[in-house]
Amino acid sequence: MEPGSRSTILAIALALGVLAALPFAAAALGNPAMTTLATRILIYAIAAASLNLVLGYGGLVSFGHAAFFGIGGYTVGILFHHHRFNEALFGLMLGTDQFLITLPAAILVSGLFAAAIGALALRTAGVQFIMITLAFAQMLFFLFVALKRYGGDDGLIIRRRNGLFDLNMRDDTTFYFVTLVFVVLFFALVWRIVNSRFGLVLGGIRQGERRMAAIGVSTYRYKLAAFVISGMGAGLAGALWANYARFVSPDMMHWTKSGELMVMVILGGAGTLLGPLFGSAALILLETVLAAYTERWQVFLGPILIVIILFFRGGLAGLVDLVRKRP
């Protein structure tokens, strides 16, 4: 999928049409669960697209992205907690349940964590980088397990979704559209970034760091910037998830969650714009469908993933290309 090509624009328009019509179709079919399922897919699409920026475009295999997803979620959860009990946070400020405050806060806090973790992890490369990002994420996981003040491993319940203007956020269809707006904005942002000067440098780093150094690019600062942007995106997804589920727990940061995000990226097509959306949809739909038949659904998920990854090297986005190019 070449970003900017006419077929990509067509695919995006089509996807947008389907997504906008979805809640109405769900209502018509008498199946409102479709809307919440789609909300989950969209939120994970943002998280996967964030990871795709570093993994797919930058070639940086971060195995700890669930950490930023969790940090974003906990930012919303903790702010709500302080708001609800009217306690000062760090003795400084009160909590809040306003979407327009919690969301930027979540993005900012996860960005700060990404800056700190990235600054250290990006001194390494290859397997070491994978391991060190995993280690940092697990450290945060255990930190929140131990943090009894915010529920420990039971997590934090958020009684009400954050308020946004006069919208009825309790309504799942309203929340779906709010999520959709963020998805559109975020994917548009990623599109701009990967085609910018910064994006070209990032893609160059994936393909050959030695070459990039030889043209005078100090790669570390660009990798770090990409890592921070990516962490912020995952934090945004986490904040949306906290509102969607009205619950945050350390499980959001567990390494299996990082693995799920990686599967979504690779399944959908690493380094493609819409791949993470396809990957998120495929994984969550497969999970839902298979789980309806058997408790041991992962036994069936594994082989399906292997087939897709073995036979469609560009992931699902590559499959879409293949089908489209058939005469």
Partner 1 sequence: MSAILDIRAVVKRFGGLIATDHLSLDVQPGELHALIGPNGAGKTTIINQLMGEIIPDSGEIIFGGEPMAGLKPAARVRRGLGRTFQITQLLPDYTALDHVALAVQAHAGHSFHFFGAARADRRLTGPAMALLERTGLATRAGVKAASLSHGERKQLELAIALAGEPRLLLLDEPMAGLGQVETAQMVDLLKGLKGQIAMLLVEHDMDAVFALADRISVLVYGRCIASGSAAEIQANPDVKTAYLGEGDA
Helix (H, G, I), strand (E, B) or coil at 157: strand
Nearer to partner 1 among residue 228 and residue 263 (C-beta): 228
Distance CA 240, CA 229 (A): 17
Nearer to partner 1 among residue 98 and residue 195 (C-beta): 195
Rounded to a whole number of angstroms, the minimum distance from the CB of residue 223 to partner 1 is 12
Nearer to partner 1 among residue 134 and residue 266 (C-beta): 266
Rounded to a whole number of angstroms, the minimum distance from the CB of residue 14 to partner 1 is 23
Phi, psi of 222, rounded to the nearest 5 degrees = -75, -40
Rounded to a whole number of angstroms, the minimum distance from the CB of residue 211 to partner 1 is 4
Binding site for partner 1 (CB under 8 A): 4, 192-193, 195-201, 203-204, 207-208, 210-219, 222, 225
Secondary structure of the chain: what % helix, strand, coil (to 5)?
A: 75, 5, 20
Nearer to partner 1 among residue 53 and residue 316 (C-beta): 53
Nearer to partner 1 among residue 103 and residue 212 (C-beta): 212
Distance CA 156, CA 150 (A): 6
Rounded to a whole number of angstroms, the minimum distance from the CB of residue 186 to partner 1 is 14
Rounded to a whole number of angstroms, the minimum distance from the CB of residue 201 to partner 1 is 5
For residue 176, count CB atoms less than 10 angstroms from its CB and return exposed for 0-12, middle for 13-18, buried for 19 or more.
Answer: buried
Give the CA angle between residues 203, 206, 207 to the nearest 5°: 90
